[in-house]
């Protein structure tokens, strides 16, 4: 599978990125292009139902950009949906933020959530989590992920979700939060099902697998299992290693790895 992914990137994606750079003027003095937005900051794109969704939350002060033209002058927070066959944007959505400095930045990957009444694209970054229309990028809902304001709270962990709840984790000791599906508008005060600082993780994306939520703390080298509906911890165990763990857990054959 890894070899197939690399071949797909080499044969299909990289040539289109090259053509996108030509189309958007790569190498110019104002190189703040859609092409760069699609690939910067280590956020993996999401290929879902024939469309390629990308996310870019990063602090870019200064020159005129596609994003500033859309009314967001302090940070590059452009979220395009791309036709994977041509590399052309199907839509672009600016996601506003009141975050400052590094807290504007996020390494997260968009997550497709299929709820009871609708499907949506969930994005975490800029101190907030939000749900968007897959067809247009318009925002259904948003919530502030934690109360504390800090200049240096970049977010690394991607959201996950299932069975009526969407999970997102803040950075650097901030809580893991479960949000109720189907939100509308600002749900910071009304959309939280539960929150736990015991389950925080600075960089490892949680795993929702076989009715349980697994959260790894790579700095402490521990893995905690939660009841995903209540947030109650079942157990916490050591990973049995001395080195910091930078990966995320995955599930296979009835086990978390």
For 79-104, give the DSSP string: EEEE-TTT--EEEEEE------GGGG
Q: 58 lies in a domain? A: yes
Examine residue 87 and state whether it is found in any structural domain, yes or no. yes
Give domain status of residue 16, yes or no.
Answer: yes
pLDDT of residue 9: 63
41 has a pLDDT exceeding 60: no
pTM of the model: 0.79
Element at 37 (helix H, strand E): helix 34-39
Tell me the residue range of the domain where 84 lies.
1-96
Instruction: Tell me, yes or no, whether 257 lies in a domain.
Output: no
Q: Which token pair is 212?
A: 């349980």
Task: Report phi then psi at 14, rounded to 5.
Answer: -60, -40
If one compares 39 and 184, the residue with the highest pLDDT of the two is 184
Place of tokens 């041509």: 86
> Given this model, what pLDDT does residue 199 score?
72
In a domain, 147, yes or no: no
- Asked whether the predicted pLDDT for residue 53 surpasses 60, the reply is yes
Q: For residue 17, what pLDDT band results from cuts at 50, 70 and 90?
A: low
Whether 207 maps to a domain, the answer reads no
The tokens for 71 are 């009314």
- The 10s digit of each residue's pLDDT in 104-131 is 888 899 999 999 999 999 999 989 999 9
Q: Domain count of the chain?
A: 1
pLDDT of 56 higher than 90? no
């Amino acid at each position: 599978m890894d070899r197939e992914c690399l071949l797909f990137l080499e044969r299909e994606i990289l040539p289109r990125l090259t053509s996108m750079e030509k189309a958007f003027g790569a190498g110019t003095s104002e190189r703040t292009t859609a092409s760069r937005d699609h690939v910067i900051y280590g956020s993996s794109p999401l290929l879902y139902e024939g469309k390629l969704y990308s996310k870019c939350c990063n602090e870019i002060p200064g020159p005129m950009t596609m994003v500033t033209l859309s009314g967001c002058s302090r940070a590059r927070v452009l979220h395009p949906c791309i036709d994977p066959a041509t590399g052309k944007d199907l839509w672009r959505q600016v996601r506003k933020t009141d975050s400052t400095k590094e807290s504007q930045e996020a390494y997260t990957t968009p997550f497709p959530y299929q709820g009871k009444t609708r499907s949506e694209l969930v994005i975490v970054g800029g101190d907030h989590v939000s749900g968007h229309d897959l067809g247009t990028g318009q925002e259904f809902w948003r919530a502030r992920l934690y109360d504390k304001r800090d200049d240096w709270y970049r977010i690394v962990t991607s959201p996950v979700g299932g069975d009526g709840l969407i999970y997102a984790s803040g950075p650097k000791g901030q809580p893991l939060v479960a949000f109720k599906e189907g939100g509308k508008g600002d749900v910071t005060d009304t959309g939280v099902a539960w929150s736990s600082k015991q389950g925080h993780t600075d960089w490892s994306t949680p795993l929702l697998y076989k009715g349980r939520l697994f959260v790894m703390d790579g700095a402490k080298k521990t893995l905690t299992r939660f009841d995903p509906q209540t947030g109650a911890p079942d157990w916490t165990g050591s990973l049995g290693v001395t080195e910091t763990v930078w990966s995320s857990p995955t599930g296979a054959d009835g086990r978390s790895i």
